[in-house]
Structure 1
Amino acid sequence: MASKLKNTEAALLENYRVALENAESQPEIAQELNEIGYSPEVISEGKAIYEETRLAYDTNKTEDDETSVASATFKEKRKELEDFFIVHRKKARVIFRNDEVTQEKLAIDHYPSGAYVKWLEQVKKFYTVAASDTEIQNKLARLAISVDEISQGNTLVSEIETARANYLREVGESQDATKAKDQAFMKLANWMQDFYAVAKIALEDKPQLLEALGLTIRS
């Protein structure tokens, strides 16, 4: 749906660009418009509004693309940490199956939450506690969970936090860009609506010139 909308906006921009370009570059159209009050200066005002809208559109598209990349990066980091942690959790559950106190300390006494924030807190607690407790480290080592892997777990936690922060920032910037783009399109659409209305009057008897502006008159 979003892609279709973007394509529609792109088509609309192209229609506006062609109309303004021809209104300025084709002498007969320019003369007829000038006689009814749409001088080259007025057309230039329309082109300036068009350029503002084009910039807002391009900026919005860039922000949307950056949001998509940030989202993919965040999902990739989450999957990496999930796969990494699930193995360690299974091993730790075996090692501490008769040690409820340590299970609670490592947050492995209950199934990982499906909610992102709660899940990440459980993961963070596991690696933070393991990194600070030599006794736990020694027991985890029995099933090949090394200190280096524990450190890697903490690194992955930091990376996913950074990735999520970047993603949320990009979402905010994309929303702001969308708002600016929508406002620009509204301003341009209003200007073009008046322009088309005037052009139909000025070129009423010259349908071929109206077609150059992207307008057609019903016969």
Structure 2
Amino acid sequence: MKTYYLSNEQMLQNFGAMFENLSKEGDLKTELAEYGYDDAKIAEGKALYDEARKTFDANIKETREETSASLAFQEKYQNVQKKYSTHRKKARIVFEDNEEALRQLKLKGSAARAIATAMEEMRAFYQLLDTTPNLLTPLK
């Protein structure tokens, strides 16, 4: 026997159609009443459907907002990453003979790839340049 699954959206559409039909057709209400689904039970089911629909729609909206925010973040992060990469390369060239500066600015090895680590690396790089004029001056 084949198992048949419905998505949340399909179930909500089916229930929505059922409640729409119930509001328009008296015969369907009469038939359901024979199985113990009186107006009170139907109203209870409709309230559950309305709440589920509201929650589903809110979830869809939130997912869209998350996707939009994620895309905006990725775009900004890539722009910052490009600038940092340029500044890092420039600093490596300027300080290639200065081991202390290379160590302080963490210019040895490759840049971090993980976003959190890379952002911390960028923050430390720019903060050190900002607070140490003798490192910043040669880069101007």
Please say if residues 100 and 109 of structure 1, whose CA atoms lie closer than 8 Å, have aligned partners that are also in contact: no
Return the structure number with greater relative CO, CA threshold 8 A, min gap 6: 1
Q: Which amino acid letter does the alignment assign opposite residue 98 of structure 1?
A: D
- The alignment's TM-score, normalised by the length of structure 1, stands at 0.58
CA RMSD in angstroms comes to: 1.6
CA–CA distance in structure 1, aligned partners of residues 16 and 116 of structure 2 = 47
Deviation per CA, 1:63-103: give whole Å up to 9, x if none. Answer: 11111012112211210111001111111111101001011
Q: Secondary structure at the match of 1:11?
A: helix
Aligned 1:1-219 pairs, distance under 5 A? 8-141=7-140
Please say if residues 112 and 119 of structure 1, whose CA atoms lie closer than 8 Å, have aligned partners that are also in contact: yes
CA–CA distance in structure 1, aligned partners of residues 123 and 109 of structure 2 = 15
CA–CA distance in structure 2, aligned partners of residues 37 and 56 of structure 1 = 28
CA–CA distance in structure 2, aligned partners of residues 49 and 105 of structure 1 = 61
Q: Mark the runs of 5 or more structure 1 residues left unpaired by the alignment.
A: 1-6, 142-219
Task: Kindly tell me the number of residue pairs found equivalent between the two proteins.
Answer: 135
Deviation per CA, 1:13-66: give whole Å up to 9, x if none. Answer: 111111122223311221222243211121111111100110111011011111
CA–CA distance in structure 1, aligned partners of residues 29 and 16 of structure 2 = 15
CA–CA distance in structure 1, aligned partners of residues 35 and 93 of structure 2 = 86
* Residue 155 (structure 1) aligns with: none
Q: Mark the runs of 5 or more structure 2 residues left unpaired by the alignment.
A: 1-5
Q: Larger % of helix: which? A: 1
Q: Which amino acid letter does the alignment assign opposite residue 46 of structure 1?
A: G
